[in-house]
Amino acid sequence: MAADEHPLLKPALGRLNGKVAIVTGANSGIGRATARLFAREGARVVCCDIQEATEPRVDKLIEGDGGKALFARCDVTKQDDWDRAVAAALENFGALDIVFNNAGGGIRKLIHEHTDDEWNFILNLNLNGIFRSARAVMPHFLKMGRGNIVNTASTFGLLASEKYPAYCATKAAIVNLTREMALDYGPKGIRVNCVCPGSVETARFRGVPPKATGEFTEEQRARMAAANKALLRMARPEEIAYGVLFLASDESSFVTGHALVIDGGQTIDA
Ligand SMILES: NC(=O)c1ccc[n+]([C@@H]2O[C@H](COP(=O)([O-])OP(=O)(O)OC[C@H]3O[C@@H](n4cnc5c(N)ncnc54)[C@H](O)[C@@H]3O)[C@@H](O)[C@H]2O)c1
């Protein structure tokens, strides 16, 4: 039998009992670990992704754990897909309490070398995806008078990283959009927070499943680990998932507009 891909997940405490969550980018990396943790903690999870290739698909992984989930093919940049994902939550699970806007990515290139398509692709994925999420989700949250949103930003939304202009710009935008949305919707009972991970061992780096792509050399990997300056290793996706769980659960009921840095010390010195 294959080794458990998330060995750091602990026995459940029921921290999301009765909740329904949408997780985007759910079939890989941080999203996959978080969807699995949410389900372990009692949530029913709508797992949104544009790819189903990672085996077992995340909803099957969750069902194998004894949890409840469904897979929704949802491109976060498309409003119709978002509307369908929200409808899937309400129709299948009768509620929607938590949205984890996690799908994202970047292209390493100097800004003047970007094509229009590349630039717009990253802005659309990382930033407009959250706009489209809000348009689909907020009417429901406002009607309920409660709701919880967690966004995935990055330490590269707080610091610069070379040749990563669209990524750094959009991740910084997510940090401040999180604050702005927290301000607008807090009085309505809706909390909005984000996580800022340092480098994390996700599909690009890890063994099966999800499969590593071989895109990174050992030397690059070592450099990424060293960048998390105090702990000198990359995070496991589960270590980000537990931060998301805190923000998504009622344990953080007085926390909103916050950017939770989970970075092994990457950002602690000058
Ligand atoms: N891995 C890191 O070191 C790191 C560090 C900081 C922040 N992040 C952020 O964490 C988030 C998740 O990254 P990851 O490392 O887990 O990546 P990953 O590549 O392992 O997973 C991303 C998932 O998102 C899906 N996705 C891509 N475009 C999508 C779209 N338009 N709609 C729906 N799903 C889509 C992909 O199919 C994939 O399954 C991203 O926002 C990323 O910027 C990652």
Give the pLDDT of residue 1: 45
Q: Would the CB of 170 count as within 6 Å of ligand 1?
A: no
Between the two ends of the chain, the Cα-to-Cα distance in Å is 46
Q: Would the CB of 26 count as within 6 Å of ligand 1?
A: no
Cα–Cα distance, 13 to 34 (Å, whole number): 15
- For the question of residue 185 being annotated catalytic, the response is no
Sequential pLDDT tens for the chain (270 residues): 467 889 999 999 999 999 999 999 999 999 999 999 999 999 999 999 999 988 899 999 999 999 999 999 999 999 999 999 999 999 999 999 999 999 999 999 999 999 999 999 999 999 999 999 999 999 999 999 999 999 999 999 999 999 999 999 999 999 999 999 999 999 999 999 999 999 998 876 554 344 445 556 778 778 888 888 899 999 999 999 999 999 999 999 999 999 999 999 999 998
Give the pLDDT of residue 213: 52
Question: Which ligand 1 atom is the nearest neighbour of the CA of 153?
Answer: 7
Ligand 1 atom 41: the closest Cα is on which residue? 104
Q: Nearest CA to 216 among 201, 230, 229?
A: 201
Domains of the chain: 20-262 (3.40.50.720)
Classified as helix, coil or strand, 98 is strand
In the block, tokens 């093919």 appear at 73
Q: Judge contact between 140 and 147, C-beta under 8 A.
A: yes
Buried-exposed string 8-22: b where 16+ CB fall within 10 A, e elsewhere: ebeebeebbeebbbb
pTM, whole model, 2 decimals? 0.96
Give the pLDDT of residue 208: 39
Catalytic residue among 164, 167, 185, 242: 167
Question: Which ligand 1 atom is the nearest neighbour of the CA of 76?
Answer: 32
Pairing of strands 68-73, 98-101: unpaired
Rounded to the nearest angstrom, the distance between the alpha carbon of 268 and the centre of ligand 1 is 24
Give the pLDDT of residue 217: 72
Total length of the chain? 270
Q: What is the 3-state secondary structure (H, E, C) of 153-180?
A: CCHHHCCCCCCCHHHHHHHHHHHHHHHH
Q: Would the CB of 263 count as within 6 Å of ligand 1?
A: no
Q: Would the CB of 235 count as within 6 Å of ligand 1?
A: no
